Structure 1
């Protein structure tokens, strides 16, 4: 039950109880006042009748001496020598008695049924019922309106907070909920914005530190490579050169990840015909890979970034999978598959993460950056990168770090579980449901048997020329002469 209906129900219950209590109080007070007034009127009549009886020995207004119907409580009260009144309850209007003792020991009494006053009480009860119902209905309507407004503000705040969590740094929760109403929702929105700004500042500081460190390492690493070239030939020299080259590649990858974490990356859009572009790049990177073009497509994208993604995915498949490595162009979808044991379920669940690999190899050949770079480049292109496992029948099992295991179908055969016992999850937010290690130079070896690892890149018709959060400004679009 939403907050709107909880608030409405609470106000309805309180309104009902309050109106019921007020109605009972008003009814009781009015009835008591009418009874007291009837007693006074009857007592005045009795006094008049008593004076007439004393002077004429006749009792007007239907008064009687020693009336056999005189109620016992009234008779006992009169026997004490005092004038008294008594209200006798009946099915209809009450009967009001008045009695007074006479000098000879008899009792003069007068009774009257107040039919004129009793309908007034019934009319009052009807008015109280109508007024109470109107008040309850009005309170419920007001509660629904207020609860709806509060619910909408909270939903807008939740939606804006979700956009901030997804990386939309320009979104402000306070602006989304509207700052005109100063209430707890506005305070909550301000606190969330302050927290988001603080986290964004910390992340930006970490990114700058990482980029600065990598940038400062460029010069000494370049000097190290130059010095290694001057060493005499031999096995030790080859090892030094290999490690120095690995260090240089790591520095370049760290710089690229830092750039992708920022908001200034833009896609340099060109018209690319995938049926021609992909086979050429695949042959240049992995000559033994099998390329299939089931459906050609032309898209506006950044060929340099697309080539970078393909290179990382192909290198990852060649390093940790088994041949043949297959590349399929299916319209705007590019699929890279190897026939190795596939991705471990734990890595599928966590997603790509820098400096964390699934490999137990500590030789320095993997640093957890390859798939991180591929996912970041896919985000810049506005593409979706999904990684999952395939068995021999084509069933898939992929991981989504935001949900963990689930039964969301993968893109091949919806609804079928993978052979590694995990459910299908297709990560479609640009980060991929990949293993949390690197790509071509970073991923650890798979640890489970399966039908192979599949990396699927789904390109949009037109990639965004500017990432979210950047100032407006066009990027010129040119044609790639190789794909024209």
Structure 2
């Protein structure tokens, strides 16, 4: 169970909202404390000025004016102690009847005291609390909205960048991350997009160079290999001659496979689709392998390139024959073709990373150059088909080829 949102948008919104609340609360406490202090200071000043007038009038007339009392029994003990020795003092008292501001002064051994209600100032403080509460709520709402807006914008740009990067990873050479998210605002996201574009361009240039080298080597080998094939055919019949012809044939097929891989790497190959009966077509292709058992559970017309589809199926059958164990089962269900053997299955590395040229299978499945599945996978992409590798639950390698309804 996730306690916190995982989206960057909501995380940023939550952070801004929390910071807004903390700032609003801190400022509200600061304002309230300062206002309360100023209220009390002003009340003390006013009350002190009034008690000074009372003391002066008492000295002239002997009467307590302005509602003052002489030796009142209700004077707080703290205030009475503070005015001893002819001093003046003020005191804020809160009791069950309310809040009161006192002022007192000692004169001629008597204590003159003045008591005034502090309720008006408390009500002003309450009104300030209401204003601060409303303001804090407003700051929270505005901060949350601002966080959502900023987070949504940043999240949207990052999602666009991620989508464009996935297209680049899938081989789309026209997509640019920087152009997808735009150049405004020029922030860290823009810099990241430019860095990804630069990295993709460097990798693309390196891949093109490697493909060119592979194609050039294959082309250069084609002529001498053709000469070797011709020369091997002229050898007189013998066991050494058969071995030479066999190895030369393997070398020739390897060169042809490398040339095919080089062509497929250019991403310029295009399918030439036609209508065909998929079940009958698979039966014909599988007839090359006498150990293959074909089962058609759902016949359907497919529109695809028969030459490329035959290449895919042939490579899958050869891979099952060379590296698996009989029987080899081929099932056609609508537009889905499954090829399964009963050998040791695909190694985990192959299932995890996919087919890779010149990487052999596990020792249990025998050796190889890794070009068969690589070519099958590349031809499937040209057909806009989905080719998946897996291991059957009860053992053996399982390859599933799904042709599209509309290539």
Match for residue 143 of structure 1? 147
Q: Which residue of 1 aligns with 2:265?
A: 261
Alignment of structure 1 residues 295-334 onto 2, 5 Å: 295-323=298-326, 325-334=328-337
**Cα distance change of structure 1 residues 359 and 219 upon mapping to structure 2, 3 Å threshold:** farther
Task: Give distance in 2, aligned partners of 1:83 and 1:91.
Answer: 26
Q: 1:276 to 1:143 in 2, by over 3 A?
A: same
Matching residue within 56, 59, 67 for 1:54:
59
After superposition, the C-alpha distances for 1:20-49 in whole angstroms (9 at most, x for unaligned) are 222222112112211221122222222333
Query: 1:403-423 CA distances to partner (integer Å, 9 max, x unpaired)?
Result: xxxxxxxxxxxxxxx12xxxx
| C-alpha distance 291-35 of structure 1, shift in aligned 2 (>3 A) | closer
2:191 paired with 1:247 = no
Compute the displacement of 1:19 (Å): 1.8
Give a deviation string over 1:174-213, Cα, whole Å, max 9, x none. 3333332222222222222222222222122111111111
For the pair 1:14 / 2:19, whether they are aligned, the reply is yes
SS in 2 for 1:37: helix
Deviation, structure 1 residue 92: 5.9
Which residue of the partner structure matches residue 400 of structure 2? Answer: 456
Separation in 2 of the partners of 1:83 and 1:279? 115
1:402 matched residue in structure 2: none
**Counterparts of 1:139 and 1:370 in 2: how far apart (Å)?**
59
Give the one of 115, 122, 126 matched to 2:119: 115
Counterpart-to-counterpart distance in 1, 2:102 and 2:352: 89
1:356 equivalent among 328, 339, 359: 359
1:386 partnered with 2:388: yes
Q: Is the 8 A contact 2:346 2:362 kept in 1?
A: no
Counterpart of 2:45 (choices 17, 34, 40) is 40
Aligned pair partner of 1:27 in 28, 32, 35: 32
Shift of the 67–269 alpha-carbon distance from structure 1 to 2, 3 Å rule, reads same
Structure 1 equivalent of residue 213 of structure 2: 209
Question: Matched residues in 1 for 2:317 and 2:289: separation?
Answer: 7
Matched residues in 1 for 2:173 and 2:101: separation? 81
Partner of 1:471: none
CA distance in 1: counterparts of 2:97 and 2:162, whole angstroms:
62
Query: Retained in 2: the 8 A contact 1:270–1:300?
Result: yes
- Residue 218 (structure 1) aligns with: 222
Residue in structure 1 matched with residue 71 of structure 2 by the alignment: 66
Deviations 1:141-197 (A, max 9, x none): 222222232223223322332332233333322333333222222222222222222
Residues 140/359 of structure 1: CA separation in 2 closer, same or farther (3 Å cut): closer
Q: Which residue of 2 aligns with 1:94?
A: 99
Q: Which residue of 2 aligns with 1:167?
A: 171
CA distance in 2, matches of 1:288, 1:99: 116
Quote the Cα distance in structure 2 between the aligned partners of 1:245 and 1:309.
Answer: 21
User: Match for residue 85 of structure 2?
Assistant: 80
Instruction: Say if 1:290 and 1:118 are closer, same or farther in 2 by CA, change over 3 A.
Output: closer
1:105 is aligned to 2:109: yes
> 1:320, 1:75 → 2: CA distance?
106
Structure with the higher fraction of residues in helix conformation: 2
| Higher mean C-alpha deviation, range 116-125 or range 169-178 | 169-178
Cα distance in structure 1, aligned partners of 2:165 and 2:299: 39
1:323, CA displacement in angstroms? Answer: 5.0
**Could you tell me whether the CA contact under 8 Å between 2:357 and 2:374 is conserved in 1?**
yes
Deviates more, 1:171-180 or 1:14-23: 171-180
CA distance in 2, matches of 1:359, 1:33: 84
Give the TM-score of the pair, scaled to structure 2: 0.88
The structure with higher relative contact order (CA 8 Å, sep 6+) is 1
- Over the aligned positions, Cα root-mean-square deviation in angstroms equals 2.7
Separation in structure 2 between the aligned mates of residue 336 and residue 67 of structure 1, nearest angstrom: 108
Deviation at 1:321, TM superposition (A): 4.5
Displacement of 1:453 after TM fit? 4.2
The 3 A distance-change label for structure 1 pair 453 and 97 is closer
Q: For the residues of structure 2 that align with 1:124 and 1:262, how far apart are their CA atoms? A: 73
Extract unaligned runs of 5+ from structure 1.
Answer: 390-396, 398-417, 420-449, 464-484
Asked whether the equivalents of residues 93 and 118 of structure 1 are also in contact (C-alpha less than 8 Å), the reply is no
Cα distance in 2 between the residues matched to 1:95 and 1:116 = 10
Give the Cα–Cα distance (whole angstroms) in 1 for the partners of residues 84 and 230 of structure 2: 132
Describe how 1:364-443 pairs up with structure 2 within 5 A. 366-389=368-391, 397=392, 418-419=393-394
